[in-house]
Amino acid sequence: MRQSVYHSAAMAVFMLLVLNANLSAETATHSTANNWAVVSQPARLVDGSPVLFRVTTPKPVRTLSGNWLGHDIAFSFDADHKVWFALAGVSLETKPGTYPLQLHAETSGAGPSGQPAAATISFEKNIRVENQRYPRVLLKVPGRYTAPSPDDQREIEEDKATKAEAFKTLSADREWSGSFAAPVNAEISDLFGVQRVFNGSVQSTHQGLDFRVPGGTSVAAVNRGRVILARALFFEGNCVVIDHGQGLLTLYLHLSKFLVKEGDDVDKGQPIGLSGGTGRATGPHLHLAVRWQGVYLDPQTLLKLNLP
């Protein structure tokens, strides 16, 4: 009798363990099926850095959009890897901290009458931004670039209006494709984010990447896009601006010659001009800048990103 009781109790415990195991397995499967996966590149984000977001949704979706640091982010779908991707950036003014990336996806399903019905699913992930210490350098340039005359001041104001008008013509669609390529094959002579002091008084932040090239070196587009500006400016010298879509621009400064004109469509690697030392420059070189939704980002990081 006692053995029978023990046997019944053991069987009850066994069945309970099996039931709990099955429930755990079902819970784990359910949790995995409803998980979002968000990966950012580079892994360490700092102020001034561009970033590539890769997002895997818990179910197939028709569209994916996001918002981060007050900027709307447009995602594209990589069908080969079944992942959504988008470029974004962190301004130099962003303080260290954790900032939420908000994602909204639109799914498709059947409505009451069998017609397609859209539903929205959302997700939020905190992204960490760390502080980057940038160096300070002293530079000497002609006096007119630190103490401009009234005529120079008028030209500077006209240039501001010209650039503002060009920046309004941005394409909403993504024009760039694949990773970005360096515009020249040369050493880097000055980094993004350096605090510069011109002639001992005028301070500014270096918002681009300088390449050490002699005048007359061929300069190539870093990716596909459309030329929205190609003209001489006071500080920038002969300047080309390419719109790559979705608020992403690249700027090529101090050129000695233009090889493209405004409105031209260009491919990655296509020559767009020759390097020089025009504008506020200490000598011949190429200054490459990256601007995303009004924020200047580190070109060196963009050139290292592995993009679809």
- CATH number of the structural domain spanning residue 158: 2.70.70.10
Question: Which pLDDT belongs to residue 115?
Answer: 55
The answer to whether residue 227 sits within a structural domain is yes
In Å, how far are 11, 15, 17, 116, 278 from 20, measured between CA atoms? Answer: 14, 9, 5, 39, 74
Residues 84 and 113 in one domain: yes
Check whether 174 has a pLDDT greater than 50. Answer: yes
For residues 270-290, average pLDDT = 95
Number of domains in the chain: 2
pLDDT for residue 76 is more than 60: yes
Same-domain status, 154 and 245: yes
Mean pLDDT of 13-25: 38
Confidence of residue 116 (pLDDT cuts 50, 70, 90): low
**3-class DSSP assignment, residue 33:** helix
In a domain, 22, yes or no: no
More confident position, 45 or 138: 45
Asked if residue 21 belongs to a domain, the reply is: no
- Residue 7: inside a domain: no
Query: Is the per-residue pLDDT at 32 higher than 60?
Result: no
pLDDT at residue number 108: 73
Q: Which residues form the domain of 62?
A: 37-129
Rounded to an integer, the average pLDDT of 71-98 is 95
Is residue 249 included in any domain, yes or no? yes
Cis status of the peptide bond prior to 142, with omega within 30 of 0: no
As a whole number, the mean pLDDT across the chain is 86
Question: Angle 268-276-297 (CA atoms, 0-180°, nearest 5)?
Answer: 50
Nearest CA among 139, 290, 286, 278 for reference residue 225: 290
Q: In this model, does residue 21 exceed pLDDT 80?
A: no
Query: Does 281 score more than 70 pLDDT?
Result: yes
In sequence order, what DSSP letters do the residues of 247-306 get, joined into one string? TEEEEEEEESEES--TT-EE-TT-EEEE-B--SS-SSSBEEEEEEETTEEE-HHHHHH--
User: Are residue 123 and residue 143 in the same domain, yes or no?
Assistant: no
The answer to whether residue 27 scores a pLDDT higher than 50 is no
Q: List CB contacts of 216: < 8 A, sequence separation 6 or more.
A: 256, 257, 274, 275, 276
210/190 same-domain check? yes
State how far the Cα of 308 lies from the Cα of 301, in Å rounded to an integer: 16
* Res 304 pLDDT > 80: yes
| Last residue within a domain, chosen from 129, 155, 179 | 129
Q: What is the pLDDT of residue 184?
A: 98
Residue 287, pLDDT above cutoff 90: yes
Residue 56 lies in a domain: yes
Q: What is the pTM of this model?
A: 0.83
CATH number, domain of 93, equals: 2.60.40.1930
Same domain, 78 and 108: yes
Task: State the pLDDT at residue 16.
Answer: 38
Residue 183 lies in a domain: yes
229 and 145 within one domain: yes
Q: Which residue would you say has higher pLDDT here, 103 or 16? A: 103
32 lies in some domain: no
Name residue 244's amino acid.
Answer: H
pLDDT of 306 over the 90 cut: yes
On the CB side of 84, CA atoms within 13 Å amount to 23
